[in-house]
Structure 1
Amino acid sequence: MKLFLKNILMTVLAVVSFVSVQAQQATKKRIDGVVGVVGNYVILDSDINNTLIQAKATGYDTAKLTRCELLGTLLENKLFTHQAIQDSIVLTDEEVNSYMDGQIDRMVEQAGSIDNVVQFYNKKSYEELRETFFDITKENLLASRMQDKLIKEVTITPEEIRQFYNKIPKDSLPMVGDQIEMAEIVIKPEITKEQRQAVIDKLNEIRQDVIDGSSFASKVYMYSEDKGSIQTGGLYTIDKKTQFVKEFKDVAFSLREGEISKPFETEHGYHIILLEKIKGKDLELRHILIKPKPTAEALEKAKTTLDELRIRILNKEITFADAARQYSEQKETKQSGGILLDRSGESRFELNKMEDRMLYEMVSNLKVGEISNNTLVTDPTDKQYYRIVQITNKIPQHLADFSKDYMQIRYVALKSKQNEVIGKWIADHIKDTYIYINDDYQNCNFKSNWLKNR
């Protein structure tokens, strides 16, 4: 349940109302709505209410949740955020905006349109919606990054995994849900040299306009396709450790103050950069991103090509694996015959825990050997391609078995060890951090010593 609550905080609290109040405003007296303070961060009654509402929306049995448990998890989140600031953990606006884009996209999928989302959260505009979510998203990402820092050196040996498994009572072994193994074939629409050159020519035209006196920021509003920086006029502050693609940083650090780069390509598209200021190790810059886009004809050709290949596979003229090796344009899976792997490198996906909802819809009703319909996919960088997926194996729901489910058991064992590290860190840092808990929660039986009196 603890993992569930942390997931709720990271993926749900970014869509609830956020109020920033400095710790100095908190006193020993009851302050309306404030139930807790950690360092400079405040927790409101409404934060607990909203987390509970969102938990219900996910289908979780909230009868098992107490307000004390929810407050305890919120307190942890604030402590991580507070320490992330103390440790000067770097988080760029691009990263915050990119994560927020994904969350808003998921909200739009559920609500039907961005206008419905804006209305649901009682905002006047899309811009106000983003402004409201920015701070809470940044706070949650900082908390996550702080936890990542704490556990990045934590490893686990095969013997520790075996010991962990053997300590689980046989009647308490976890149930592993239905799992599938699958393979994919991807065909991408062609983007011609002429289309790429048209983007380069446009960026050169914009560059010349700025050299001749036009505002770079105004050009960003007019032309840039980087959602994460449009509202700031393309502005970023980066150093050599900032998590931008190498090609972007190479160009940025080759410029002089006031210089505008020539168009260059990254995996995201084509850019130009204006380096405004060099401040020690930091660069203040603005950039414009334009992405070459396939024509309707190119998309249709890609679809037709994959449709025809699918028919050949169904007619047993070629195996799915051989077709993937010969024709698929997804380099990450092509050489393995299209085999899909999760983030841990495991080929088994637990069906009801798949994060890619479009992929889930493609495969959830397929039997072993069956092939999905040809589907148009838009990836996180807005690139489009067509994809078919074949189910290669299905593993029914079963009790966890050490040999059969080693990777899953390893994951749980490692998480347990990481949680021990985090738990000790929380205990140590509570002692040295300003904590305020409202009188209404003084009788909570927190897992950590938030009350500092036990």
Structure 2
Amino acid sequence: MKFINSKLALFLVTSCMVIGSVSAQEIIKDEPVQDTVKPKAPTGKLKVDGIVAVVGDFVVLDSDIDMMYKELQAQEVSVKDITRCELLGKLMEDKLYAHHAIQDSIIVSDVEVNERMQQQIDYFVEQLGSEQRMVEYFKKRDLPSFKEELFEMIKNQKLTEQMQKKIIDEVEVTPEEVKIFFSKFKGDEIPQFGAEVEIAQIVVKPEISQEEKQKIIDRLKEIKKEVEGGASFYSKAVLYSEDPGSRSSGGFYKMTRKTAFVKEFKDAAFSLDEGEISDPVETEFGYHLIYVEKIRGQEIDVRHILMKPKVSKESEAAAKKKIENIRQRILSGEISFADAAKSESDEKETRNSGGLLMNPRTLETRFELTKLPSELYSAVYDLKEGEITQPLLEDDPRTGKVFKIMTVATRYPEHKADFAQDYLKIKELALKEKQIQIIGEWSEEKIKETYIKVAKEYQDCKFANHWVKK
């Protein structure tokens, strides 16, 4: 939204990773970033890293601010207009949440931290070229020490996220509150909503031969036998699983019956005893070997190995021909797009709605055009209503190769918010404002009761919160 200000944008950047120790003292060179508080040291001089703030049981080091700049730059975020005061304020907010998360006995598992840490390292390596260049970029001694510090930072970040979630989890807005929120905007202040589209698609999946399926089933049965003979399920998952989300953690997931996993997977997992391994289980993603590691009431720890049958060239060619024929029948007027989706599409989630995609954020069928994922935007941004794309080959890492055709069912032009037409979007904005207000009230209260100290050279900062107690 155009009226969200920069202060709020900075507040919402809760996923920034800050690489730096909370206790180590190190010597670092001045970074070429604008220092809005302290005078710059002469070129080439060294400064000793020191504590610039204390929040409860946590400290913020001067180098934490430097490293936050470097991490933002690694993510290609412009830091030209971001001051050290703003970053210190953000770091202190995170420490406040983390401190009270620990006080409230919020627990973050090592498995969760390791999974995110690996994702972050993979991202840095992709951006910087290698692990060695990553270590050098962040001025760390070696990879193990880098990982150790990154682990602690991610753990604190996840504590922050869990604390924030706890604060706003039960915040709701009534229709009357939504009405009052919207009535505050007059004339040019009324929010402007971007152009929106409704998108429909028809999906054809190449058929997989029974022979290929049996090959995967037999291999999973071999792995099960090896594990029952003493091999490590963890190691087998790391080596053989094709699930990118859990492979690095040995196939680990924590789940309850409400966890958003496919029914076949959940049914199989909850039918097993602790320490038991399933036979191969088929889902839309492939075949799974499921191992129940721990049962604690309604929650279970599982590990799984996912293997996907491979599609033959012949099957891929047949699927492409089928989608081309469906497209031609629609263009000739023989069948409507919606009816073709209902009778021919292999995507069960959209088949009954005539192929219409559901926006997972709003649970509506309308998508703001500029917020579409890049691959979806490139396919439909210049389509007129009713036009159909050429067949598109999509290779989803979760579900494999599929062919699809897409159409724009309806276009909605850019417009000023209308209370009746855009009620759900206005409600979402009202909810966000209320959540920010609740977060602010919580922060103000906790700052008063938490030990906080800010170094003298940062006490003139104009913080959003009252960190400097007079």
Give the TM interval when normalised to the shorter protein: 0.7 to 0.9
Equivalence for 2:243: 226
Q: 1:329 to 1:252 in 2, by over 3 A?
A: closer
Q: Deviations over 1:304-362 (max 9, x none)?
A: 222222233233332222222222222222222222221212232222222x2211121
Equivalence for 1:368: 385
Q: Deviations over 1:404-454 (max 9, x none)?
A: 32222111111111111221122222233343433332122222222233x
Equivalence for 1:185: 202
Describe how 1:113-152 pairs up with structure 2 within 5 A: 116=129, 118=131, 121-122=134-135, 136-152=153-169
Shift of residue 58, structure 1, vs aligned partner: 8.2
Matches of 1:436 and 1:48 in 2, distance apart? 16
Aligned partners of 1:176 and 1:397 also within 8 Å: yes
Equivalence for 1:4: 9
Q: Which range moved further: 285-294 or 119-128?
A: 119-128
Q: 1:198 to 1:335 in 2, by over 3 A?
A: same
Equivalence for 1:18: 19
Shift of residue 5, structure 1, vs aligned partner: 2.3
Q: Secondary structure at the match of 1:9?
A: coil
Matches of 1:337 and 1:128 in 2, distance apart? 54
Match of 2:212 among 195, 199, 202: 195
CA RMSD of aligned residues (A): 4.1
Q: 1:311 to 1:45 in 2, by over 3 A?
A: farther
Q: Deviations over 1:251-274 (max 9, x none)?
A: 556555654333334554433344
Matches of 1:87 and 1:35 in 2, distance apart? 26
Matches of 2:187 and 2:238 in 1, distance apart? 61
Equivalence for 2:305: 288
Equivalence for 1:175: 192
Aligned partners of 1:23 and 1:41 also within 8 Å: no
Q: 1:183 to 1:270 in 2, by over 3 A?
A: same
Q: Deviations over 1:233-259 (max 9, x none)?
A: 4456x4758947365566556555654
TM-score normalised to structure 2 length: 0.77
Matches of 1:93 and 1:385 in 2, distance apart? 36
Q: Secondary structure at the match of 2:87?
A: helix
Matches of 2:135 and 2:25 in 1, distance apart? 29
Equivalence for 2:34: none
Q: Secondary structure at the match of 1:220?
A: helix
Matches of 2:199 and 2:260 in 1, distance apart? 31
* Consecutive unaligned residues in structure 2, runs of 5 or more: 1-5, 27-46
Equivalence for 1:351: 369
Q: Deviations over 1:23-61 (max 9, x none)?
A: 999xxxx97164444344454545545655776798988
Q: Secondary structure at the match of 2:14?
A: helix
Shift of residue 77, structure 1, vs aligned partner: 2.9
Residue type of the alignment partner of 1:426: S
Q: Which range moved further: 217-226 or 155-164?
A: 217-226
Equivalence for 1:210: 227
Q: Which has the larger radius of gyration?
A: 2
Shift of residue 202, structure 1, vs aligned partner: 0.7
Q: Which range moved further: 90-99 or 148-157?
A: 90-99
Aligned partners of 2:286 and 2:399 also within 8 Å: no
TM-score normalised to structure 1 length: 0.79
Shift of residue 293, structure 1, vs aligned partner: 3.4
Describe how 1:204-353 pairs up with structure 2 within 5 A: 204-234=221-251, 238=254, 240=256, 243=259, 245=261, 251=268, 255=272, 258-266=275-283, 268-274=285-291, 286-342=303-359, 343-353=361-371
Matches of 1:210 and 1:307 in 2, distance apart? 46
Matches of 1:402 and 1:382 in 2, distance apart? 39
Q: Secondary structure at the match of 2:311?
A: coil
Residue type of the alignment partner of 2:20: V
Q: Secondary structure at the match of 1:84?
A: helix
Describe how 1:392-407 pairs up with structure 2 within 5 A: 392-407=409-424
Aligned partners of 1:176 and 1:399 also within 8 Å: yes
